[in-house]
Amino acid sequence: MPNYQYICKKCGKKFFCTTTIHEHETRKPRCPKCSSHAVETILQGFFAVTARKT
Ligand SMILES: [Zn+2]
């Protein structure tokens, strides 16, 4: 499962949340600090996608 990092736009708290792709697109996690849904995804893991043997 992908591990997403989120940042809360309300309080600035950064947190990780592991969700399925479906869950990621259908519902947003809540900030563990202020319980706000105003969170933004910080995409992670692109380095792993582009890493390849040459
Ligand atoms: Zn928050």
Per-residue confidence (pLDDT) for residue 3, from 0 to 100: 76
Per-residue confidence (pLDDT) for residue 45, from 0 to 100: 52
Per-residue confidence (pLDDT) for residue 5, from 0 to 100: 87
Mean pLDDT for back-to-back runs of 10 residues, the chain (54 residues): 84 87 75 93 61 61
Per-residue confidence (pLDDT) for residue 17, from 0 to 100: 83
Other CB atoms within 10 Å distance of the CB of residue 7: 16
DSSP bridge partners of 18: 3
DSSP bridge partners of 8: 39
Residue 6 Cα to ligand 1 middle (Å):
10
Residue 32 Cα to ligand 1 middle (Å):
7
Per-residue confidence (pLDDT) for residue 33, from 0 to 100: 96
